[in-house]
Amino acid sequence: MEREDLLKMHSELMGEDVWEFHSLEKGGVKRSLSILLRGRYAGVKYPISDRLAVLATIAAGLLFLLSVGSLAVTFLRSRMDLGIILVVDRAVGDLVLGLLGFIYSAGIFLIDNPAFGAVLGILLLVWLARR
Amino acid sequence: MNKLSAQLVNLYSTITAFIISAKKHVPKFIEGLKEMMGRAKGRVKEALALVLGEAETFMQILDDLEAKWILLGKRVGVAIEKLRMGVKLAKENVLVLIDKLRRIIENSSMLALELLGRGVYLRIKEEMRRILKNPNVVREDAELEATVREAEQLSELLQRSEKLQNEKANMMVE
């Protein structure tokens, strides 16, 4: 490079501020979906852990909606004959039991499934290779 | 520490080492040039004036770089903390910062080679390598310089007091 080019580059580097992605910060859903489906966003490649994190966030949201729904249903079913304290008590008990049962059955199903075991093994191997 | 933030810190400390070593070697170079200019005549003096002008341009560039270095330090700290906390788009910001730091290092070292010449450039690079290997070198050097300065001052004081004593003795004899 010529001296003038170098000096010009220097003044540019000293003048410009670091770009902070302010314009992109609004696109949260777009970014998450892009990371989940394609594994890259804004020219940056994301590892499998980030994709799984997006998936886990979606699963957590769905679980939250389910739990709120079950609470509401329990409340509506038994509003006629019981006091509010008993209703809430029963709803929370049902919710906890339902969640535990769901997790238990999901775990049993996944452990019994050979395809899931294979996927888990491959993921473990990939993780070990990337370390 | 994350891989990305380690890279960021590495690049930032490279810039720091560059600034420190250039601040050490370039003023020495300029002093030497000025001494030579005092002795030289004619065309040689003109050529030396050109070289001196370029060296002083590089000193201005170094001042710019030092001012930017402080701002970049803030940015680097914030980026690493955001990455640690998992803030949205922290990774992209860190990558942009890494790119910027890399460009700054490349450009300023090429400017050093262009404006100061191969000898001073190589000296700066060697000093950089030394500092990056052991960052305590900077502090030790400063301490050594301070002790040398103190010793010089003490020796001057000793000479002065010896002179005064001699004068007193002469006065007594007279």
**Which ipTM score applies to this complex?**
0.72
Inspect the interface and report whether the beta carbons of B100 and A10 lie closer than 8 Å: no
Joined tokens for residue B78: 């914030």
Whether the predicted pLDDT of A103 surpasses 80: yes
Subunit contact B111:A10, Cβ cutoff 8 A: yes
- B65-103 burial code (b ≥16 CB/10 A, e <16): beebbeebeebbeebbebbeeeeebbbbbbbbbbebbee
Walk along chain B (174 residues) in steps of 10 and give the mean pLDDT of each run. 89 94 93 93 91 93 92 89 80 87 93 92 94 88 90 94 91 82
Q: Which candidate from A18, A28, A44 shows the least CB-CB separation from B88?
A: A28
- Judged by CB atoms within 8 Å, which residues 6-25 of A form the interface with B? 6-7, 9-10, 13-14, 18-21, 24-25
Question: CA-CA distance, A35 to A48, in Å (whole number)?
Answer: 9
Which phi-psi region, left, alpha or beta, contains residue A72 (left: φ > 0; alpha: ψ -120 to 50)?
alpha
Domain boundaries, given as residue ranges, for chain A: 19-130
Rounded-to-10 torsion of CA A17, A18, A19, A21 = -130
How far is residue B56's CA from residue A9's CA, in Å, rounded to a whole number?
18
- Put simply, the answer to whether A18 touches B68 (Cβ < 8 Å) is no
Distance from C-alpha of A93 to C-alpha of A71, rounded to nearest angstrom: 10
Q: What is the pLDDT of residue B150?
A: 94
DSSP letter (8 states) at residue A51: H
> Looking at residues A63-86, what average pLDDT do you find?
75
CA distance B48 to chain A (A): 19
Q: How many CB pairs under 8 A join A and B?
A: 49
Q: Which residue has the tokens 């990455």?
A: B83
For residue A43, the 8-state DSSP code is T
Nearest to A20 among B93, B111, B114 (CB): B93
* C-beta atoms of A20 and B110 within 8 A: no
Best mutation site among B4, B18, B80, B92 for testing chain A: the one with the most A CBs within 10 Å?
Answer: B92
Using a CB-CB distance cutoff of 8 angstroms, which residues of chain B are in contact with residue A6?
107, 110-111, 114
What pLDDT does A108 receive? 86
CB contact under 8 A, A10 and B107: yes
Provide the pLDDT for residue A93: 84
pLDDT computed for residue A23 by the predictor = 46
Q: How confident is the model at residue A109 (pLDDT cuts 50, 70, 90)?
A: confident
| pLDDT tens profile A13-55 | 887 765 555 444 556 788 888 888 888 877 677 888 888 888 9
pLDDT (mean) for A94-99: 88
> Mean pLDDT across the stretch A49-78?
84
Q: Inspect the interface and report whether the beta carbons of B93 and A28 lie closer than 8 Å.
A: no
What 3-state class would DSSP assign to A86? Answer: helix
Q: How far is CA A121 from CA A106, A110, A113, in A?
A: 18, 13, 13
CA atoms within 13 A on the CB side of B8: 25
Predicted confidence at residue A114, as pLDDT, reads: 86
Q: Which residues pair with A44 in a beta bridge?
A: A41
DSSP annotation of A38: T
**The total number of residues written for chain B in this structure:** 174
Which residue in chain B is spatially nearest to A31 when comparing CA positions? Answer: B89
Give the nearest partner residue to A9 out of B72, B97, B107, using CB atoms: B107
Report CB contact under 8 Å: A10, B75: no
CB contact under 8 A, A1 and B110: yes
Q: In whole angstroms, what is the distance from residue B15 CA to residue B23 CA? A: 12
Helix (H), strand (E), coil (C) string for chain B = CCHHHHHHHHHHHHHHHHHHHHHHHHHHHHHHHHHHHHHCCHHHHHHHHHHHHHHHHHHHHHHHHHHHHHHHHHHHHHHHHHHHHCCCCHHHHHHHHHHHHHHHHHHHHHHHHHHHCHHHHHHHHHHHHHHHHCCHHHHHHHHHHHHHHHHHHHHHHHHHHHHHHHHHHHHHHC
User: Strand, helix or coil at A27?
Assistant: coil
Domain extents in chain B: 3-133, 134-174
Q: Are B9 and B80 in contact (CB under 8 A)?
A: yes
CA distance B127 to chain A (A): 23
Q: Report how far apart, in Å, the C-alpha atoms of B137 and of each of A130, B15, B105 are.
A: 36, 16, 21
Residues of B with CB below 8 A from A9's CB?
103, 107
Q: Is A85 on the interface with B (CB under 8 A)?
A: no
